Amino acid sequence: MPIKRAAFKSMRQSEKHRRRNVAITTALKKAVKAVRKQVTLKDAKKAADVLRSAVKLLDRAAQKGVIKRNTAARLKSRLSTAVRKITVV
């Protein structure tokens, strides 16, 4: 345990941020997995709906600093390309 008050506060903050980051990362993984599942099932309408919510989560995670902006952009691009392919075919 920290001795100084500032160190104790820092410990509390880092735990709070860690919990937030874990929650956001878990939700993100579930959303990406849901989009990929709909793509494999070739359900274009459902995939587009799930993609929309996944993009929101990716943007929020990038904004909060949980993932890098370029990682979010890359995932959004790959997911939207996959959804577009099943929509056209």
Give the domain ranges of the chain: 5-88
Q: Please identify, in words, the CATH class of the domain defined by 5-88.
A: mainly alpha
Are 75 and 51 in contact by the 8 Å Cβ rule? The answer is no
Amino acid 88: pLDDT: 79
Amino acid 49: pLDDT: 96
Are 34 and 47 in contact by the 8 Å Cβ rule? The answer is no
pLDDT in tens, 14-24: 999 999 999 99
- Taking the C-alpha atoms of residue 45 and residue 34, their distance in angstroms, rounded to an integer, is 13
pTM here is: 0.85
pLDDT in tens, 48-89: 999 999 999 999 999 999 999 999 999 999 999 999 999 876
